[in-house]
Amino acid sequence: MIRPVGSDDLKPLFVYDPDRHHELMREAQTLPSLTISSQAAGNAVMMGGGYFTPLTGFMTVADALSVAGSMRTTDGLFFPVPILCLIEDAAALGDAKRVALRDPNMEGNPVLAIMDVEAVERVSDEQMAQMTERVYGTLDMEHPGVAAFNSQGRVAISGPIQVLHFSYFQDDFPDTFRTAVEIRNEIAERGWKRVVAFQTRNPMHLAHEELCHMAMERLECDGLVIHMLLGKLKPGDIPAPVRDAAIRKMVELYFPPNSAMVTGYGFDMLYAGPREAVLHAYFRQNMGATHFIIGRDHAGVGDYYGAFDAQTIFDEQVPEGALDIEIFKADHTAYSKKLNKVVMMREAPDHSKEDFVLLSGTKVREMLSEGTAPPPEFSRPEVAQILMDYYRSLK
């Protein structure tokens, strides 16, 4: 199986030993505690599950700035985005060297992790701007990722963590949330050697389904891992439970047995375009995928990034040898009326726009909310029915 990034072994930070876990939970009740941001909580969950191997905890400001600039920490460790724990005020810490980090996304703010505090640093406006510009490519506060990153506070606490809970993800999505450890184990159990991963924050329509089939066939893969984001999205995006139901129905009906896994991970979407695409590839390698699909405007939002910037960054900015996972570079896929099948648009040079079945996201949402199924060339009827039921429930 493909090795994890920068390590021979996966390094999950979740405390699996039950005796040690109970001991730490008891200790947490005696420690100063901080309720952290949703973004920091997602980082802790990802580290707990082994997705961010070989990180051992939250970065210092120096490491975060270095990663933002060159995708390497001050010690040379490759990582594509800063992993910070930013808070408004560290007064509650005093001079404590251990602190309980509490979950902002669950009632009662349960303990998520314990941190050994190595540094408490104030982040200047200039440093925040520098990181924002390099990671998101813009300082525009209308960008949802920029707004979320800059709303967390200006005090960074850093140090190794021991993760004690997977937030609401394990409770709310018991059939879908999986750690990198669990996905690696299932890949091994299924006997898959070549595995392609597909990232989604949306339901999968026919073009997405066929793109996965294309990738599996061309890459000669044994299996597909559909890996959906279960954390916070921007307003208007379809909730995770609805996406989950729609994707599971598609896999049940249109993929052969033992060819596709439906899984999810706990993280808030950054909408950081190219940088987030590299992060997506990073943790897909850690979960055991040998290949990863990156299409047009991957992890983008609005018009902040070029259509294929999330592909070219792997050739132009990712340090050579940093990742072993291979990128399957896809174009926009759509149903060809001429060929009566879904194709990549760049592979149909004799087509005009009118030769494809193309519907905007806005148009699809309008149709679904009116109880009108999109044409079968765009969406499987069983998937459309689940989405129509959701939109009807909003009225």
Is residue 108's pLDDT more than 80? yes
Give residue 202's pLDDT band: very low, low, confident or very high (50, 70, 90). Answer: confident
Q: Which of 3, 194, 201, 248 is catalytic?
A: 201
Where does a domain end: 113, 136, 170? 170
More confident residue, 231 or 395: 231
Number of domains in the chain: 2
CATH number, position 77: 3.10.400.10
Is position 98 annotated as part of the catalytic site?
Answer: no
CATH number, position 262: 3.40.50.620
Dihedral sign for Cα atoms in the order 140, 146, 152, 157: negative
Q: What is the mean pLDDT of the chain?
A: 95
Task: Judge if 268 and 143 occupy the same domain.
Answer: no
Task: Judge if 181 and 329 occupy the same domain.
Answer: yes
Is position 202 annotated as part of the catalytic site?
Answer: yes
Is 10 within a domain?
no
Task: Judge if 153 and 217 occupy the same domain.
Answer: no
Q: Which of 98, 134, 202, 248 is catalytic?
A: 202
Query: How far is 15 from 22, CA to CA, in rounded Å?
Result: 10
Task: Judge if 382 and 275 occupy the same domain.
Answer: yes
Task: Judge if 132 and 201 occupy the same domain.
Answer: no
125-129, 177-181, 200-204, 305-309: which range is least confident on average?
200-204
Is residue 362's pLDDT more than 90? no
More confident residue, 241 or 183: 183
Is residue 236's pLDDT more than 80? no
Dihedral sign for Cα atoms in the order 89, 92, 94, 100: negative
- Domain of residue 89: give its range: 18-170
Task: Judge if 211 and 158 occupy the same domain.
Answer: no
Is residue 91's pLDDT more than 90? no
Is residue 361's pLDDT more than 80? no
Give residue 279's pLDDT band: very low, low, confident or very high (50, 70, 90). Answer: very high
Task: Judge if 199 and 181 occupy the same domain.
Answer: yes
Task: Judge if 368 and 343 occupy the same domain.
Answer: yes
CA atoms within 13 A on the CB side of 215: 31
Q: Where are the alpha helices (DSSP H) in the chain?
A: 18-28, 38-48, 61-70, 125-136, 144-150, 167-172, 180-190, 206-219, 240-254, 274-286, 309-316, 361-369, 381-393
* Mean pLDDT to the nearest integer, 307-329: 96
Task: Judge if 385 and 237 occupy the same domain.
Answer: yes
* Mean pLDDT to the nearest integer, 267-288: 96
Say if residues 158 and 59 touch (Cβ distance below 8 Å). Answer: yes
More confident residue, 120 or 366: 120
Task: Judge if 103 and 191 occupy the same domain.
Answer: no
Is 92 within a domain?
yes
Is 8 within a domain?
no
